[in-house]
Structure 1
Amino acid sequence: MNEPGKRTMTASAQKRRKIRDTISGAAIREFARNGLSGTSTQAIAQSAGITKAQLHYYISSKEELYRQVLGDIVKEWREIFFIAPFQHDPALAISTYIDRKIRHALKYPDISRLFANEIGRGAPEMREHWGVLKNSTEMANGVIRDWIAKGMIQPVDPLLFQMNMWAVTQSYAEYEAQARVLMDLDDDTPMNADRIIAEATQLFLLRCGLSGERVFR
């Protein structure tokens, strides 16, 4: 029996949710590989395993779907990688951010590539999302400034420090082909996440004057 006040999702609603998730995943793959202009609704439908008619039951256009997917990515990243919950401990905050970010990039490389493609074309669809990202970045800047003021880390440029962490943790997804060649890895061999995380964490912890050892909760 359902608990009072709680609603359960009907079988039809669950099916619609599953189809929407499948469409979103297919859209991310196609947009990441071919960009907005190079992706057709037929390609998205085929990747999702549905007909074009079925796809258009759920979306009005590929542009609408692109904006929706981009917004979902921005929201997800803000929730996953925000450092404020760990602001009492710089080493923990930095270690957690890098660990989560690299593991996410390696597991979902197409998400990083889609975002990078959007930025590369001038970010015309990011206008409504910049405010959210800038607000999150400025809040993190405040946390870092507080660490510096309290002598918890050596002085760094808060904004550039964040941008550099972003660049390093994204690169293994955005430049995966290059990384695989340099690491002598074939397409079916997973990258060594622990190795990458350990090196990146040491790099940024040492920059802050902290021990290079990763910190875990």
Structure 2
Amino acid sequence: MTTAQKKRREMHIAIRDAAIREFARNGLAGTSTQVIAQSAGISKAQLHYYISSKEELYQQVLGHIVRQWREIFFLSPTRDDPATAIATYIERKLRHALEYPDISRLFANEIARGAPEMAGHWEELKASVDEASEVIRGWIEAGMLAPVDPLLFQINMWAVTQHYAEYEAQARVLMDVPDGAPLDADRIIAEATELFLLRCGLQGRGPRP
């Protein structure tokens, strides 16, 4: 990679991260390219050198989120060990939510308003979910997992793992964690993992705090 290519890549990442922050806080309608540029530390003119509109940037961000979540649910190394696969997924998803809460918030806000910008992303998301459902069905058929609804099992895992980003303020109050201090990731991961392993008959095989 040349110096120019590296600089361009770094700029794209800075713009994307700034867009995620601002879209998560203010939504698509409430965010201007001026604000995104300021958040990225560049001028509005510089921003428009890399993007044509905030709508285009919003679409890029949604695609980035869907791809990231698909990569988190990468089962190949642990396909024959459902306990490890589920525990690893929950840990990766929770740590990602705690480290990058704006990603979960942006996506939740988009879905809450009826997902008008998701038309071009549902196919990829659904393909990822269908692939994971097939793996879960295989575990059940092989007697490696107690019967669960593969789709609802995934949806429920999302609800728990994204809760600490989408409802961070509530979690902080209830857990007595002040602003600026990290939530207890190990405690959260251990409880969530045991919850889902118990549901599918694999209790006692999760991590301990």
TM tier, smaller: over 0.9
Alpha-carbon distance in 2 for matches of 1:168, 1:129: 23
Query: How many angstroms apart in 1 are the aligned matches of 2:204 and 2:165?
Result: 24
| Number of the residue aligned with 2:48 | 56
- Per-residue deviation at 1:82? 3.2
- Amino acid across the alignment from 2:24: A
Aligned pair partner of 2:33 in 41, 65, 68: 41
Distance 1:178 1:107 in 2: 17
1: distance between equivalents of 2:203 and 2:87? 11
Q: 2:14 aligns with which of 22, 28, 40?
A: 22
1:174 corresponds to: 166
Counterparts of 1:13 and 1:133, CA distance in 2: 30
2:59 aligned with 1:67: yes
Quote the offset at 1:212 in angstroms.
2.7
Q: What's the TM-score, normalizing by structure 2?
A: 0.95
SS in 2 for 1:125: coil
Show CA shifts across 1:140-173 (max 9, x none): 1111111111111111111111110111001000
The SS at the match of 2:14 is: helix
Q: Report the counterpart of residue 192 of structure 2 in structure 1.
A: 200
Distance 1:36 1:52 in 2: 17
1:80 corresponds to which of 69, 72, 84: 72
Q: Which amino acid aligns with 2:195?
A: L
Greater Rg by CA: 1
Aligned residue among 123, 128, 143 for 1:131: 123
Q: How many residues are treated as equivalent by the alignment?
A: 207
Deviation at 1:49, TM superposition (A): 0.7
Residue from 24, 30, 35 that aligns with 1:32: 24
- In the other structure, the counterpart of 1:142 is 134
**What's the RMSD between the two structures over aligned residues?**
1.2
| Distance (whole Å) between structure 1 residues aligned to residue 155 and residue 47 of structure 2 | 37
Gaps of 5+ in 2: none
Q: Name the SS of the counterpart of 1:151 in structure 2.
A: coil
Deviation at 1:12, TM superposition (A): 1.8
CA positional deviation for 1:103: 0.3
CA apart distance, 1:97 = 0.4
Instruction: Say whether 1:108 aligns with 2:103.
Output: no
